[in-house]
Structure 1
Amino acid sequence: MSQVCPLTALKFAELCARAGIPRGVVNILPGSGALCGQALADHPLVRKLGFTGSTEIGQTIMKSCAVSNMKKVSLELGGKSPLIIFEDCDLDKAVRNGMAAVFFNKGENCIAAGRLFVEERIHDDFVRRVVAETKKMAIGDPLHRGTSHGPQNHKAHMDKLIEFCERGVKEGATLVYGGGRVDRKGFYFTPTVFTDVQDHMYIAKEESFGPIMIISKFSSN
Structure 2
Amino acid sequence: MDLTPIIEKLNTGLFINGQWRDAEGDRTLEVRNPANGSVITTIADASEADALDAINAARDAQAGWAATAPRERAEILRRAFDLLHERADDIAAIMTAEMGKPLAESKGEVAYGAEFFRWFSEEAVRVGGDFVQSTDGKNRLMISKEPVGPCVLITPWNFPLAMGTRKIGPAIAAGCTMVLKPAQLTPLTSFMLVEALRDAGLPDGVLNVVTSSSARRVVTPWMESGIARKISFTGSTEVGVNLMKQAADSVMKTSMELGGNAPFLVMDDADVDAAVEGAVLAKMRNNGEACTAANRIYVQKPVAEEFSRKLAERIGSMKVGDGLADGTQVGPLVDQDQLDKVAELVDQAVGAGATVLTGGQKVDGDGYFFAPTVLTDIPENATLRVEEIFGPVAPIVTFETDDEAIELANGTEYGLASYLFCTDLERSLGLSERIESGMVGLNTGLVSNPAAPFGGVKHSGLGREGGTSGIDEYLETKYVAVPRANAT
Q: What TM-score do the two structures reach when normalised by structure 2?
A: 0.43
Which residue pairs with 2:288 in the alignment?
107
Counterpart of 1:58 in structure 2: which amino acid? Answer: G
Q: How far did 1:174 drift?
A: 2.2
Residues 56-78 of structure 1 deviation map (CA, whole Å, 9 limit, x = unaligned): 222211110001x1101122222
Letter in 2 for 1:106: N
Describe the shift of the 1:14–1:195 C-alpha distance in structure 2 as closer, same or farther (beyond 3 A).
same
**Residue in structure 2 matching 1:172, options 329, 350, 353:** 353
**Equivalent residue letter for 2:341:** K
Verify: 1:49 aligned to 2:231, yes or no.
yes
Q: Distance in 1 between matches of 2:397 and 2:352?
A: 14
Residue 206 of structure 2: aligned partner: 25
1:36 partner letter? V
Partner of 1:93: 274
Please list the CA deviations of residues 2-45 of structure 1 after superposition, one character each: whole Å capped at 9, or x if unmatched: 32221222221122222332222332221232223333333321
Q: Post-superposition shift, 1:198?
A: 4.4
Q: 2:256 aligns with which of 62, 72, 75?
A: 75
Q: How many residues align?
A: 220
Contact kept? 2:262, 2:296, Cα under 8 Å: yes
Is 1:152 the counterpart of 2:360? The answer is no
> Partners of 2:198 and 2:294 in 1: how far apart?
35
Conserved 8 A contact 1:54-1:78: yes
Deviation (angstroms), 1:200: 4.2
Shift in Å at residue 113 of structure 1?
A: 1.1
Q: CA deviation at 1:175?
A: 2.5
Cα offset, 1:145, TM superposition: 4.8
Return the alpha-carbon distance in structure 2 between the equivalents of residues 120 and 41 of structure 1: 51
Q: In structure 2, what is the Cα distance between the partners aligned to 1:110 and 1:53?
A: 9
Query: Conserved in 1, the CA contact under 8 Å of 2:276 and 2:310?
Result: yes
Query: How far apart are the structure 2 equivalents of 1:48 and 1:157?
Result: 30
Deviations 1:79-102 (A, max 9, x none): 101111112111111101101101
Alignment gaps of 5+ in structure 2: 1-154, 156-182, 403-488
Q: Is the 8 A contact 1:108 1:209 kept in 2?
A: yes
The alignment partner of 1:181 has SS state of coil
Unpaired runs of 5+ in structure 1? none
Greater mean alpha carbon deviation, residues 110-119 or residues 34-43: 34-43
Q: Distance in 2 between matches of 1:85 and 1:24?
A: 50
Q: Distance in 2 between matches of 1:144 and 1:16?
A: 30
Amino acid at match of 2:297: L
Specify the SS of the correspondent of 1:93: helix
Partner secondary structure for residue 27 of structure 1? strand
How big is each residue's C-alpha offset from its partner over 1:154-178, in whole Å with a ceiling of 9 and x where there is no partner? 1111111111111112233222221
Instruction: Indicate if the aligned counterparts of 2:357 and 2:374 stay in contact, CA closer than 8 A.
Output: yes
- The percentage of counterpart residues that share the same residue type is 36
Cα RMSD after superposing both structures: 1.8
Residues 79 and 207, structure 1, Cα contact 8 Å, conserved in 2:
yes
- If the length of structure 1 is used for normalisation, what is the TM-score? 0.91
> Which range moved further: 160-169 or 172-181?
172-181
Is the 1:199–1:205 Cα contact (8 Å) retained in structure 2? no
